[in-house]
Structure 1
Amino acid sequence: MKAGLLLGLFLAVTLEISAQSDTITYRPNKINQLKIVPLPAIGSNPANGWLFGLAPSATWYMGDPTTTKISNFVGNFLYTTKKQWIFSSRSNIFSNNNKLIFIGDWRYFVTSQFTYGLGSNSPNELELNPSQGNVLWGKQGMDFRLIRFYETILKRIGDSKFYLGLGYHLDIHSKIENYNEAPPDFNPIYSHDAYNSRLGFDLDRYTLSGISFNGVMENRDKAVSPYEKNFAWIQYKVNPTFLGSDQNSSLLMMDYRHYINLDEQRKRNLIALWGFGNFVVSGDVPYMSLPSITWDMFGRSGRGYAQGRFRGENMVYGEAEWRFPLQQNKETFGGTVFLNAASFSSKIDNEKLFAKINPGYGVGFRIMINKENRTTIAADYGFGQKGNSGFYLNINETF
């Protein structure tokens, strides 16, 4: 895996540096300063096995770079040794003079993932849930397909840092099959099936479709890799049956990020803070649509744990990260030390938020491959509780 990762880093750096220019020229009605990083993706993790494919990213300006924030796109086109297909694109696009923001999250997964039951107390190893009789708790396998289409459009309020807008959000989970490694004569009920049956959802397919009302404060200097200021996003999502949802429901998401500069001469030396909450406000949502670790837009929360390790009706997450340069007079190499914590609730198990908190921590290495746009390759290793850990390779900073 190390050799493959190094090859990917080398190719990405070579291709990007060969295309760089230090001259900023504004061309009206054209995309400006387009930078594309065709990063080969070779890696491994417990959820996917070995992964092969491409993880391209791009940054550009939709208007005058002096008055327009940089736009970015991150994609994944991957196949794994567990016979999974992972296709996704995430984008954050600013129109000329930042009048509009377009936020996109599109995915198609033919994949599998372990799920562990609801709440923060779910164990690593497979066992029966003490509060639900013959229902499994702990590590349970699941095959499924996911179609996701999220698109939000926000309009700037005058010349302020504030935006209001609407979004449409669609999740279709299908071909869901559970499995476990227990003996054949052990025939309990899976956490997913118990939850969905109790609330009247199908076990093999369900849809969540709705509109969202959004308020954003965009005050970061560069969204892909901020050095200072802050960002806030509040979203209220309504999922009515007349738009295709299996049941009526609503969710509230709150996201706040703050960047504290530690050295005016080296602004890359900073403390980054992230607070995130996701809550089911009314009605019920199917199991795989519940708030879950690492299911945020860019999949960056919960370093130290696998995607989906914790899930519940309500989620609160916090993270602090120290980012610093590793060279005295250059910005190419950097490092980071981070600490995070998450808590989940479960109505079925009568578990309240903050009854248990699961921390994570780790270190990371950064390679800035474009100083002007701050395009960065981020490699992190995180540790969680009870033997959980993971390696993470991404484009741009975690948050």
Structure 2
Amino acid sequence: MKKLIALAMCSSISLAVFGQNEIEQGKLYISPLPIIAANPAFGVIYGGAASVGVYMGDPTTTSMSSGLITATYSTKQQLMFTFKANSYTHDNEWMLMTDFRLFFSSQPTYGLGTGPSSHILSDSDIEFDEALSTNNGQGEMLNFNLVRIHQTGLRKINETMYAGVGYHLDVFGSIEDPLVDLNAMPPVASNHYAYSVKYGFDPTAYTVSGLSLNWTLDTRDNVANTYNGRYAFASFRYNPEFLGSDQSSTQLWLEYRDFVGLSSTSERNLLAFWSFANFTTSGRLPYMALPALGWDQMGRSGRAFPQGRFRGNNMFYAEAEWRFPLPLIASKPDLLGGVVFANVTTASSEDNNINLFQYMEPAAGIGLRIMLQKRARTNLTLDYGWGPNGAGAFYLNLNEYF
């Protein structure tokens, strides 16, 4: 992967906020972050992000709601807006999960399934008589617009368990495959184009619209930066044509997170675990809506790899992280922290006869944490991840990755 270099200036963050001792209902804990990034594939990216925390009820009986807002633009005319949040109403009666995105963007795609590279699509593949290519290391650029509206509401069953329904809309439009040239000799097609034509999707636009049934268990002490507790989530999604989907399909998402303390004197010294499985359980999803790395709600999976680096009919992801304090400043012992992490991804592909867990793609890395707001536990995160075949990237973000 092309190295990602990110810089940020945090002059707007004051130590007065860091030192606050009172937790107030309704008070917004906001951490803004100017962002400048450079990527050889996308040019220079600049914009801003803001982490927002708020107690929507009595802090003694209500979990903190946490959200992240971003707006970025690139020199290659990629404009992206996101709003992602996990919110709790008074006394945790309702849990709300939000994922809104508006992209005028582009992204390299790499075929389906994890494992060794296969052939690049050629004239014989346009007839769709052969299996589609698995990921090639170079990537195939895809231009697209995306409108995403995912909203889930879950009602409290007891102190730790919730159940509810959601609506999920993904509209991909203005899709362009710069690689595709059917008039060339031999003709050239991309994995996205070949998959779309083979399974009856318009290669230039498609929609997935559906309803979901959801269940979750949540004992985390803080959503943005958990010191202890666990989280489990299951979601079954039905995407029927009568709600606007190009083709009917169903999906199953299973997720689990756990946080285990390692020290009786420091809550910040802990092991964190995260895993999820994303299955296409029936029907067909369009190419960009298939399970893919980095397309989870907060877009945090797969440090070391670009978003969408691995994609398939089904996917499993797991990550472990050691988080620890770095008391290097005597007057601010909680200001700095560090992490060491490792993750692994596997994806299946029917067209390439690749099964889940047949091939595993690992990555690992280290990171620095800077506590911007102690009451809200808002961290500035700086990480570097390494993967196989030269993959690697530097990341800058707000809040912990999971």
**Conservation of the 8 A alpha-carbon contact between 2:131 and 2:352:** no
CA separation in 2, counterparts of 1:82 and 1:327? 42
CA–CA distance in 2 between the matches of 1:166 and 1:24? 35
Instruction: Out of 127-136 and 98-107, give the one that drifted further.
Output: 127-136
Q: 1:205, CA displacement in angstroms?
A: 0.4
Alpha-carbon distance, 1:175 to partner: 0.8
Q: Which residue of 1 aligns with 2:284?
A: 284
CA drift of 1:13 comes to 2.8
Contact 1:167 1:212 in 2 (8 A): yes
Q: Deviations over 1:36-74 (max 9, x none)?
A: 112111112355332111111211100111111111110
Q: Secondary structure of 1:195's match?
A: helix
Aligned to 1:378: 381
Contact kept, 8 Å, 1:135 with 1:190, in 2: the verdict is: no
- More relative contact order, 1 or 2 (CA 8 Å, 6+ apart): 2
Summarize deviations over 1:243-295 as a string: whole Å, max 9, x none: 10011100000110000100021010011011111000010100000000011
Asked whether 1:76 is paired with 2:75, we answer no
Residues 171-320 of structure 1: matches in 2 within 5 Å?
A: 171-180=170-179, 185=185, 187-320=187-320
Partner of 1:95: 89
Contact preservation (8 Å) 1:241, 1:247? yes
Does the 8 A contact of 1:136 with 1:190 survive in 2?
Answer: no
Q: 1:12 to 1:246 in 2, by over 3 A?
A: same
Conserved 8 A contact 2:180-2:188: no
Q: Distance in 1 between matches of 2:390 and 2:40?
A: 13
Instruction: Show the counterpart of 2:150.
Output: 150
Deviation at 1:343, TM superposition (A): 0.3
What residue number does 2:101 align with? 107
User: C-alpha separation between the residues in 1 aligned to 2:262 and 2:132?
Assistant: 50
Alignment partner of 1:179: what SS?
coil
Partners of 1:4 and 1:315 lie apart in 2 by 29
1:333 maps to 2:333: no
1:373 positional shift: 1.2
> Per-residue deviation at 1:125?
9.7
Structure 1 residues 59 and 257, CA, compared in 2 at 3 Å: closer, same or farther? same
Provide Cα deviations, 1:182-224, integer angstroms capped at 9, x if missing partner.
9965532211111111111111000000001000101101010
Whether the 8 Å contact between 2:31 and 2:373 is mirrored in structure 1 is no
Q: Which residue of 2 aligns with 1:119?
A: 113
Please tell me whether the aligned partners of residues 214 and 233 of structure 2 are also in contact (alpha carbons under 8 angstroms): yes
1:61 corresponds to 2:61: no
Number of matched residues? 390
Aligned to 1:22: 20
Residue of structure 2 in register with 1:85 after alignment: 79
Q: Give, in whole Å, the separation in 2 of the partners of 1:398 and 1:249.
A: 30
Q: Secondary structure at the match of 1:385?
A: coil
Identity rate, percent: 39
Q: Does 1:5 align with 2:4?
A: no
TM-score, normalization by structure 1: 0.92
2:363 aligns to what? Answer: 360
In 2, are the aligned partners of 1:45 and 1:390 still within 8 Å (CA)? no
> In the aligned structure 2, how far is the partner of 1:396 from the partner of 1:163?
24
What's the CA shift for 1:133? 4.8
Kindly state the Cα deviation for residue 126 of structure 1 after the two structures are TM-superposed.
5.5
Q: 1-side partners of 2:177 and 2:44: how far apart?
A: 22
Partner deviation per Cα, 1:309-331 (whole Å, 9 max, x = no partner): 11001000000100111116611
| Structure 1: distance between partners of 2:99 and 2:234 | 17
What CA deviation, in whole Å up to 9, does each residue of 1:143-181 have, x standing for no partner? 0000000000011013x2000010000000011111239
Aligned partners of 2:373, 2:238: CA distance in 1, in Å?
Answer: 40
| Pair 120,105 (structure 1): closer, same or farther in 2 beyond 3 Å | same
Partners of 2:180 and 2:190 within 8 A in 1:
no
| Contact 1:47–1:112 (8 Å) recurs in 2 | no
Displacement, 1:355? 0.8
Equivalent residue, structure 1, for 2:394: 391
CA 1:218–1:135 in structure 2 vs 1: closer, same or farther (change >3 Å)?
closer
Q: CA deviation at 1:136?
A: 5.7
Shift of 1:121: 2.1
Distance of aligned partners of 1:4 and 1:278 in 2 relative to their CA distance in 1, 3 Å threshold: closer
Report SS of the residue matched to 1:193. Answer: helix
3-state SS, counterpart of residue 77 of structure 2: coil
Within 2, Cα distance between the matches of 1:198 and 1:344? 20
Q: Structure 2: how far apart are the matches of 1:279 and 1:259?
A: 25
C-alpha separation between the residues in 1 aligned to 2:389 and 2:59?
47
**In structure 2, do the counterparts of structure 1 residues 384 and 3 end up closer, same or farther at CA, with 3 Å as the change threshold?**
closer
1:136–1:189 CA contact under 8 A, matched in 2: no
189-198 or 213-222, which deviates more: 189-198
> Which consecutive residues of structure 2, in runs of 5 or more, have no partner in the other structure?
none
The alpha carbon displacement at 1:24 in A equals 2.6
Determine if contact 2:132/2:352 at 8 Å carries over to the other structure.
no
Give the 3-state SS of the residue equivalent to 1:63 in structure 2: coil
Deviation at 1:302, TM superposition (A): 0.6
Cα RMSD of the aligned pairs, angstroms, is: 2.4
Distance 2:199 2:93 in 1: 43
